[in-house]
Amino acid sequence: MPNSPIAPGTPYEGKAKILTPTATPGIWQIFFKDDATAFNAQKRGEIRGKGEINCTISSHLFQFLEHQGIPTHFVRQTAPNCMEVHALTMFALEVVVRNRAAGSLCRETGLPLGLELAPPLVEFYYKNDALGDPLLTPDRLRLLNLATPQQVQTLTEMAQQINGHLCRFFAECGILLIDFKLEFGWNDHGQVILADEISPDTCRLWLAGESDPVQRVVDKDRFRHDLGGVESAYQLVLERVLRR
């Protein structure tokens, strides 16, 4: 089996969420915090109401994806900022899908911000804070035994399918899905399942039809780059997701 950062059953406090086992075996509660971090936790802050907003958006998107046939860890939302999920053994991977150039892709390649990428890029990063979550080549992925070749293929195909569904979903909200990060785990049957969260913390989202490079941003880049209006941007995404 591939390397894994946390074994099922162990309480865990991360940068944005707290995971605790519930009385039901195999079911964990995830509490979404208002804490915000960026640049590998070098920048820290709080976004008021973020926990509730991200939990509600994630719950909504997981249910939408389940309806599209994507297996997710979602069981139910138990409070505005709490979700019950199936406990999984996680891949130590961040799977990033990019529809347009932004963030590290622009910084590291010089590609212009917003360049359309067809087909979308699917990239694997090593989920390892101490190493700064480096981008992996296929050979390094294999070397580190972070997933089997078959699992890498499954993860790639699932990420592509999820991207198709989410692009359509957000387009119906008047929002462009620029890029996003997914995390996956596997259950006792070895089935690969979408986990963690999908929210303005983990997606780049731009208002469709808005050309102003600051006004159009409705995601964590407002926090990362001190653009102001962080809470109202998250609130806007929530309202559009719920209204769709």
DSSP code of 70?
A: -
Per CB under 6 A, the segment of 47-55, 85-93, 100-108, 141-149 that binds ligand UDP is 100-108
Nearest approach, Cβ of residue 12 and ligand ADP (Å): 6
If residue 17 lies in a helix (H) or strand (E), which one and from where to where?
A: strand 17-21
Residues 200-219 close enough to bind ligand UDP by CB under 6 A: 202-204
Write out the two tokens for 65.
């994806």
By CB under 6 A, tell whether 85 contacts ligand ADP. yes
Q: How far is the CB of 159 from ligand UDP (least distance, A)?
A: 12
Cis peptide before 213 (omega within 30 of 0): no
* Amino acid at residue number 138: P
Dihedral angle computed from the Cα positions of residues 21, 22, 27 and 31, in that order, rounded to the nearest 10 degrees: -70
Binding mask 117-156 for ligand UDP (x = CB under 6 A): ----------------x-----------------------
Based on the shown chain and the rule CB under 6 A, indicate whether residue 87 belongs to the binding site for ligand ADP.
yes
Name which of 87 and 95 has its Cβ closer to ligand ADP.
Answer: 87
* Contact flag: residue 57 with ligand UDP (CB under 6 A): no
Q: How far is the CB of 86 from ligand ADP (least distance, A)?
A: 6
- Contact (CB, 8 A) for 8 and 95: no
Q: Which is nearer to ligand ADP, 27 or 167 (CB)?
A: 27
Q: Which residue from 55, 44, 48 is spatially nearest to 34, judged by alpha carbons?
A: 48
Q: How many residues bind ligand ADP (CB under 6 A)?
A: 17
**How many residues in the shown chain lie near ligand UDP by CB under 6 A?**
14
CA-nearest of 39, 58, 38 to 47 is 38
Q: What is the DSSP string of 154-212?
A: HHHHHHHHHHHHHHHHHHHTTEEEEEEEEEEEE-TT--EEEES--STTTEEEEETT---
CB closer to ligand UDP, 64 vs 124: 124
Using CB under 6 A, list all residues that contact ligand UDP. Answer: 94, 96, 102-105, 133, 179-181, 202-204, 220
Using CB under 6 A, list all residues that contact ligand ADP. Answer: 6, 12, 14-17, 19, 73, 85-88, 90, 183, 185, 195-196
